[in-house]
């Protein structure tokens, strides 16, 4: 089991302008010089958190998924973030997990943000996606999912009786007016699941006049902040320490005493 390198891209987004956002992100990703396993973009990185899916959505063979494939192949790493997808007449806030060989998995946001009317425009997902990379298992979530701990709660893998995943990822458009909740809940998810948590948020003002102050961060299994980006555009690569994770779980195996449950 080796360490995992994750790169957080905290950036402003051009409101509902896919061409401008993809051009901007291409420049930023191409400028990443250090080695990494995963590059993580914010929620709805090509449009901002828009409630106009009928105008902005794409299919899975559309331009943005193709862009993600080309970038992942070019950078020889995984690229992930969420975009607006139309499928079978429904719209989804869909996280794409694009592999460097051009194959991908995806996760549809389970908890639609009703305060902004997201539930009126997008269909919720029903399945979790736990991906594998470099010997790590990564549970992938989107923004508002952070407020619902059952959805991201660690379960014991039935055969090995080991934790189900090693890291949680949240991609977000989390506004500054509620950033205190973001800063409190990310460490909580890390402590209760005894895993690393990576939260990647945007900065800047969106088309609804909401300011986003970033605070993208990596938190370790003890709830300590490994790295954080404040209210600015930046790209930061962080090493997730496998030996530290295993040591925490061995010395303090709280995960063994967790309640069993099923998600309906």
Which residues are known to be catalytic?
A: 43, 109, 143
Q: Is 220 exposed, middle or buried (0-12, 13-18, 19+ CB in 10 A)?
A: buried
């Amino acid at each position: 089991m080796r360490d995992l390198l994750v790169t957080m891209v905290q950036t402003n987004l051009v409101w509902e302008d896919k061409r401008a956002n993809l051009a901007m992100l291409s420049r930023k990703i191409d400028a990443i010089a250090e080695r990494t396993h995963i590059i993580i973009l914010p929620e709805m990185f090509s449009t901002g958190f828009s409630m106009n899916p009928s105008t902005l959505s794409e299919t899975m063979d559309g331009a943005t998924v193709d862009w993600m494939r080309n970038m992942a192949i070019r950078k020889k790493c995984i690229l992930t973030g969420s975009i607006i997808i139309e499928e079978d007449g429904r719209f989804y806030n869909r996280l794409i997990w694009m592999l460097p060989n051009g194959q991908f998995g995806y996760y549809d946001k389970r908890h639609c943000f009703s305060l902004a009317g997201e539930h009126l425009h997008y269909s919720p997902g029903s399945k979790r996606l736990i991906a594998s990379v470099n010997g790590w298992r990564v549970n992938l979530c989107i923004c508002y999912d952070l407020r619902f701990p059952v959805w991201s709660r660690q379960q014991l893998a039935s055969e090995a009786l080991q934790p189900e995943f090693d890291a949680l990822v949240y991609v977000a458009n989390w506004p500054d007016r509620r950033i205190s909740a973001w800063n409190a809940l990310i460490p909580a998810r890390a402590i209760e699941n005894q895993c690393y948590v990576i939260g990647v948020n945007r900065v800047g003002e969106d088309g609804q006049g909401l300011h986003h102050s970033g605070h993208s961060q990596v938190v370790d299994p003890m709830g300590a902040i490994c790295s954080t980006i404040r209210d600015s555009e930046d790209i930061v690569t962080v090493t997730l320490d496998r030996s530290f994770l295993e040591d925490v779980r061995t010395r303090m195996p709280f995960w063994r005493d967790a309640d069993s449950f099923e998600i309906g």
